[in-house]
Amino acid sequence: MPQRHEATKINDWIVRLGDRHNRKSEVINVYVSLFERENNMVSKKMVAVVMGSDSDMGVMQSCIDQLVSFDIEPVVRIISAHRTPQIASDFAQNAAQKGIQVIIAAAGMAAHLAGALAGRTALPIIGVPLSSGAGLGGVDALLSTVQMPPGVPVASMGIGKAGAKNAALFAVQILALSDEKLREKLAAFKKAQAKKVIEKDAALQ
Ligand code: AIR
Centre of ligand 1 from the C-alpha of residue 91, in Å? 18
Q: Where in the chain is the domain with CATH 3.40.50.1970?
A: 47-180
Q: Which residues contact 197 (CB under 8 A, 6 or more apart)?
A: none
Quote the longest CA-to-CA distance of the chain.
67
Question: Which CATH number does 47-180 carry?
Answer: 3.40.50.1970
∠ Cα 55 125 165 (to 5°): 55
- Our mutation pick for probing the ligand 1 site, out of 49, 53, 78, counting the most ligand atoms within 8 A of Cβ, is 53
pLDDT in tens, 38-79: 565 554 559 999 999 999 999 999 999 999 999 999 999 999
In percent, the amount of the chain with pLDDT more than 70 equals 78
pTM: 0.81
Confirm if 63 and 105 have CB atoms less than 8 A apart. no
Q: How far is residue 141 CA from its own chain's centroid?
A: 18
Residue 19 is predicted with a pLDDT of: 57
DSSP alpha helix (H) spans, 83-128: 85-95, 113-118
Residue type, 185: K
DSSP H or E run through 75: strand 75-78
pLDDT in tens, 128-145: 999 988 889 999 999 999
Centre of ligand 1 from the C-alpha of residue 83, in Å? 9
Question: Which atom number of ligand 1 is nearest to the Cα of residue 109?
Answer: 6
Looking at residue 150, what DSSP letter applies?
Answer: T
Q: Is the pLDDT at 4 greater than 60, yes or no?
A: no
Show the ligand 1 pocket: residues with CB < 6 angstroms. Answer: 51-53, 55-56, 80-83, 107-111, 130, 132
DSSP H or E run through 155: strand 155-156
